Structure 1
Amino acid sequence: MHLIFRCSCAGDLELDCHPFPHCIIRNFLDSETFVENLQTELLGLNFNEKSNDLYKFKQSDDLKKRKEPHITGLRAALFGRFRSWLGEVLGVELEPTVDISCARYEYTDVLLCHDDELEGRRVAFILYLVPPWQISDGGTLDLYSIDSNFQPQSIVKSLIPSLNTLVLFEVSPVSFHQVSEVLTEDKCRLSLSGWFHGPSLERPPRHIEAPVSRSPHLPRDETVLLEWVNPVYLDISYQEQIQEEFEDSSEIQLKDFLKEEKFREVSEALRVAQIQWTKKGPPNKRCYDVASLDTLPQCVGECWELLRSESFFLLLSNFTGLQLHYLCPADDEDEDKEEDEDVPESGEATGSSTESRSPSTPVCCGELRRWSHGGYTLLHDAEAAQAEYALDLVLPFSSAEWQSEFGGYTCYVANEEDEELLTVYPENNSLALVYRDKETLKFVKHVNHRSSSDSGNSSTCRALYDFSFVYYE
């Protein structure tokens, strides 16, 4: 099938090197009839739901062997004449590899910040086959600037999808971009996308983030537990039941953990107090608000100290059987097993972050986080390289009823595997404890547009707050 590209018309082509080299070719295909028939063929494909830390959308199977006439014609043209022209423009010999698929983005679908880098990818392309589209519909292709560490910093350009428009950009260590969340409920963002392959660009040294500081417990006695914790969890026999259940599954959720009046007091303070919040990034790793500890109101600060107190370390030891306090009875058999199999040499799993302290000194690190529309965390290589044995704690406080369909829940996955091992949904005043090993990673799922008010008025968005701590033996 013969196709005519209209990219020679100056009014149809836009080149820009900011924030990284990209090109927009409008009215890419000469025949409107061809475009309509191509849309029809693509919408008739089988689509698979794709969902992980980075994205949520529907994708077709690989299109390199499909026999539909318009898909076949476009594929032949893109990876034939057009690829030759592109290689000449770039001065790069592009390989004959065919890499193309179709994506459908619908309400709340998103592809978060990433750089597209994978061995052999040289130029990315997207051909939009969408109905009339406005910026209020979401689904824009957002391009990020970078900071001095070659990390994504902020969105500096947003491209609105437009029918029969082809976007190309050079894949590089700094080609950070995202597909913003689709906000319209009655349109489908349909596109063909893929990569032209060739020699990869040279990568600068990867930026390594400073390790999160860890601290031993605060010297607080059991008075703080008596003041804050539901008395049922201070009963020794009940703690033994909890430990048995935890040792069976390595996770547990303790409902109504704080005394009701304390939980209400902290919830109200989080909602109305003048706490200073800072956006935490970079966006290819995380996006949420973290509280400045010196701006916490008294009751919130006291709750923070509870989770860092010596008596709470001991309570966690009783809940889990982990050695988080010297008074926790040691299990000789478990100790022998850990010595032989589990416990790495000092610094083996986490580099220099463990070398400055004794491996026998229990420590923790924590944050008070605020989650709202657009918040998430992503898996990344550095996290996998530094993974170690740890006890995760999350204690949520939501300002309104929070539903699982909003996102904001924590997923645990095996390293380099897509299948989720465990999902922990935020539940008011429910203390979640999860013990993970060196092969287990976690992320917080993107908080989507449904977290806004039911009326669609984004000015009254719901928010979720949580204390997030990690404890190390």
Structure 2
Amino acid sequence: MSSKRAQDESGGSEKKRKKKKSCEEAALSSCVEEKQLQGAVKEAWRSSSPYSHGDLELDCHPFPHCIIKNFLSSETFVENLQRELLGLNFHEKSNDLYKFKQSDDLRKRTEPHIAGLRAALFGRFRSWLGEVLGVELEPTVDISCARYEYSDVLLCHDDELEGRRVAFILYLVPPWQSSDGGTLDLYTTDSNFQPQSIAKSLVPSWNTLVLFEVSPVSFHQVSEVLSQDKCRLSLSGWFHGPSLDRPPRHTEPSVPRSPHLPRDETVLLEWVNPVYLDISYQERIQEEFEDSSEVQLKDFLKEEKFREVNEALRLAQIQWTKRGPPNQRCYEVASLDSLPQCVTACWELLRSESFFLLLSNFTGLRLHYLCPADEDDDEDNEKQEQKGDEEATGSSTESPAANTTRQKELSTPVCCGEVRRWSHGGYTLLHDGEAARAEYALDLVLPFGCAERVLLSSQPIGGLEALSVSVGVIPEEEASPSTATKF
């Protein structure tokens, strides 16, 4: 029995050894182990001074960030870690801000090298980093793996979310050049804490860790991956702790709006394809629009007019200005004073009174006072009139003609828009803060430099056109902060 007990004890020890082996120890760079170096990095971070020693570099422009090359000291460990990560299941992540593939959260993964790295990051390295920053970092594990391949991108953002204190990225990439894209771009900010321009681009490098404090100025992006045969593999996440103070978020000034231009139907006869002026065809368009909230009108302009404007936009010396900030949009807008005459005439068409009435017929939206009101609108108007009668304390001195004029003015819609030039990498982003105060009832895009058609939409849209004329149409009585969609 004693022999059997000895064997059992031996077997138990073997099981313990196997269990221990399920987590490979991740040895970190000597930069993290040296106490003297830790003190120097702490002082440099506190004073916002650049510092470099061996594989560690601290830079404070445009905001403090630290780069540690050869972060994991064992090359074999890194190769095995990469192999485990590539074996994970990845999910496509795609919206107006990003497109890439991401793994599930790695906090519970049991692969030995993933578990070993996680233990090192949120153990020894977390203690080192907390000492450098002078804050108590939480033991919270927040880490996942991302794969960026050809055309993948993550546009400008600041990473701010309650509890996030430090962002980190560990790159496990093949030999990489800036021409491959996928750089980590860091932005400068203006006095309103809005991103301005890229100040520094970090090219991904094998076994290199990049980290920075999440703050009101930590705007960055992953530029579009241009290589068709390389995978930008990285581990990323956040260390959690007390958030840095944030000033009130900047609110952009309202876009100037103007009423329609007084142009009669002759402008439509001059510019618009006659098929779209047919009443029965307009009714069919309205049915389609009411079903899907958008409609595309192919060959909308007369062919000769479209060619004339298209050529003028291509050849004329138009003044273009880049529109930002990059955490919201990136494209060029034309100075209206520099537009050639035929483009100005097309611009006036889109803002004319007769065109607003045509849009009403296309969409069923009440964008003109001559447009028939819905039954609900009639009921609301009757209630409003009754309320006015009940509250009246004397006879009205306003004449019927003046009253008609006042009602017409109240129902006159307004619009705003731009002549935009799009190039590779252009975009617009929808922000939650803007959605709460948007007010556009209808978006319209008339593209040039590609297939000619008009897109009408009652929902936010993002343009991919080479060049477009964009107009937002707003019924005057609905133009309030509570009715909102962004265009």
TM-score by length of 1: 0.83
Task: Give the deviation of 1:339 after TM superposition.
Answer: 10
Aligned CA distance change for structure 1 residues 93 and 259 (closer, same or farther; 3 Å): same
Q: Does 1:186 align with 2:229?
A: yes
Task: Give the deviation of 1:358 after TM superposition.
Answer: 6.7
Matches within 5 A, 1:240-279: 240-279=283-322
1:29 to 54, 57, 72: 72
2:466 to 455, 464, 467: 464
Aligned CA distance change for structure 1 residues 442 and 201 (closer, same or farther; 3 Å): farther
2:117 to 42, 57, 74: 74
Matches within 5 A, 1:150-165: 150-165=193-208
Q: What amino acid is the match of 2:86? A: L
Structure 2 residue aligned with 1:369 = 420
Cα deviation, 1:352-395, whole Å, max 9, x if unaligned, reads: xxxxx975321111111111111001121331121235111111
Matches within 5 A, 1:84-123: 84-123=127-166
CA distance in 2 between partners of 1:29 and 1:243 (Å): 62
Instruction: Compare the two structures and name the one with the higher helix fraction.
Output: 2
Q: What amino acid is the match of 2:185? A: D
Aligned to 1:161, the other structure's residue is in SS state: coil
Cα deviation, 1:26-72, whole Å, max 9, x if unaligned, reads: 01001000010001001111111111111111111111111110000
CA distance in 2 between partners of 1:179 and 1:312 (Å): 42
CA contact (8 A) 1:7 1:13 kept: no
Q: Does 1:221 align with 2:297?
A: no
Q: What amino acid is the match of 1:374? A: G
1:176 to 211, 214, 219: 219
Task: Give the deviation of 1:331 after TM superposition.
Answer: 2.4
Structure 2 residue aligned with 1:283 = 326
CA distance in 2 between partners of 1:328 and 1:211 (Å): 28
CA distance in 1 between partners of 2:425 and 2:280 (Å): 43
CA contact (8 A) 2:440 2:473 kept: no
Matches within 5 A, 1:383-398: 383-388=434-439, 390-398=441-449
Q: Does 1:432 align with 2:432?
A: no
How many residues are treated as equivalent by the alignment?
A: 408
Structure with the greater relative contact order (CA < 8 A, sep ≥ 6): 1 or 2? 1
Aligned CA distance change for structure 1 residues 358 and 95 (closer, same or farther; 3 Å): farther
Structure 2 residue aligned with 1:382 = 433
Q: Does 1:6 align with 2:29?
A: yes
CA contact (8 A) 1:143 1:178 kept: yes
TM-score by length of 2: 0.81
Aligned to 1:18, the other structure's residue is in SS state: coil
Structure 1 residue aligned with 2:345 = 302
CA distance in 2 between partners of 1:333 and 1:160 (Å): 59
Aligned CA distance change for structure 1 residues 310 and 13 (closer, same or farther; 3 Å): same
CA distance in 1 between partners of 2:381 and 2:101 (Å): 43
Aligned to 1:388, the other structure's residue is in SS state: coil
Q: What amino acid is the match of 2:174? A: P
Q: What amino acid is the match of 2:474? A: Y
Aligned CA distance change for structure 1 residues 46 and 202 (closer, same or farther; 3 Å): same
User: Whose radius of gyration is greater, 1 or 2?
Assistant: 2
CA distance in 2 between partners of 1:317 and 1:33 (Å): 68
CA contact (8 A) 2:282 2:361 kept: yes
Aligned to 1:19, the other structure's residue is in SS state: coil
Structure 2 residue aligned with 1:230 = 273
CA contact (8 A) 2:321 2:334 kept: yes
Sequence identity (%): 80
Aligned to 2:309, the other structure's residue is in SS state: helix
Structure 2 residue aligned with 1:51 = 94
Larger displacement relative to structure 2 (317-326 or 99-108): 317-326
Cα RMSD for the two superposed structures = 1.8
Aligned to 1:311, the other structure's residue is in SS state: helix
CA distance in 1 between partners of 2:427 and 2:68 (Å): 33
CA distance in 2 between partners of 1:364 and 1:119 (Å): 38
CA distance in 2 between partners of 1:64 and 1:106 (Å): 24
Q: What amino acid is the match of 1:222? A: E
CA contact (8 A) 2:26 2:113 kept: no
Unaligned stretches of 5+ in structure 2? 1-23, 35-52, 384-407, 476-487
CA distance in 2 between partners of 1:334 and 1:20 (Å): 54
CA contact (8 A) 2:257 2:415 kept: yes
